[in-house]
Amino acid sequence: MTPDADPPRAATPDFVHYAELKGEDALARLDAWAATLSAQPGFSGAEVLTSPAQPGLALVASRWTAPVPPLALPDGVKAWVFVVQASVTPRA
């Protein structure tokens, strides 16, 4: 593979939904909410994320193979939907 060649790309879900919550109970609340996502059409997986650099902040990154349906978000959650444009995989 030459340096100018495009990196390998994998098939990706069409949408990513990010949900963000701040506060002492953010992790517990988003973890419980994330557990409900598997019942939604088009859901293909999610991660609940925290960072030592951002105490009290929790995120859920969920992947969807169809447009994200309306989701009942916990109070105080900020959320965004992104359309996946490309995905890069490790080189073999």
Helix H, strand E, coil C: the string for 2-45 is: CCCCCCCECCCCCEEEEEEEECCCHHHHHHHHHCCHHHCCCEEE
Confidence at residue 92, expressed as pLDDT on a 0 to 100 scale: 82
User: How far apart are the C-alpha atoms of 11 and 48, rounded to whole Å?
Assistant: 22
Contact 30, 19 (CB under 8 A): yes
CATH number assigned to the domain with residue range 15-83, chosen from the 4 options 3.60.21.10, 3.30.70.100, 3.90.1300.10, 3.40.50.2300 = 3.30.70.100
Structural domain boundaries in the chain: 15-83
Instruction: Tell me the whole-structure pTM to 2 decimals.
Output: 0.82
CA-angle at 77, arms to 51 and 54, nearest 5°: 20
Average pLDDT taken over every residue of the chain: 90
pLDDT single digits (tens) 51-70: 999 999 999 999 999 999 99
Position 1 pLDDT exceeds 50: no
